[in-house]
Amino acid sequence: GENVEQHPSTLSVQEGDSAVIKCTYSDSASNYFPWYKQELGKGPQLIIDIRSNVGEKKDQRIAVTLNKTAKHFSLHITETQPEDSAVYFCAAIFGSSNTGKLIFGQGTTLQVKP
């Protein structure tokens, strides 16, 4: 079935350390993998995404890696800051771009301690 597993559910790091969140997906045909950040009381906001034709994408302190063979992808945040504290969701597309759906992981609560 359509499933995205996300780990860990909570993650606490010291400011300046790196944080890694991992996701696995069930459909080998999935080809689009966004990551969303949700701050308290707000809606999710896209922070980075990756498509299946690349293995890694970076945007300043954030990077995402994709291993299609193993069907898993990861979010890496370097030099974490207190404002990185939030809930992070991975997602994978199941079906086509316009008639499929995004399936979200259960979320990871990241706490960055000053």
Partner 1 sequence: DAGVIQSPRHEVTEMGQEVTLRCKPISGHDYLFWYRQTMMRGLELLIYFNNNVPIDDSGMPEDRFSAKMPNASFSTLKIQPSEPRDSAVYFCASSLRVAFTDTQYFGPGTRLTVL
Comparing CA positions, the residue from 8, 12, 7, 4 lying closest to residue 85 is 12
> Is 102 a binder of partner 1 (CB under 8 A)?
yes
| Cα(5)–Cα(11) distance, integer angstroms | 16
In residues, how long is the chain?
114
- Could you tell me whether strands 10-14 and 108-113 are parallel, antiparallel, or unpaired per DSSP bridges? parallel
> Is 61 a binder of partner 1 (CB under 8 A)?
no
Pick from 7, 13, 27, 100 the residue near partner 1 by CB under 8 A: 100
Binders in 22-51 for partner 1, by CB under 8 A: 32, 34, 36, 41-46, 49, 51
Query: Contact positions toward partner 1, by CB under 8 A?
Result: 32, 34, 36, 41-46, 49, 51, 89, 93, 97-102, 104-107
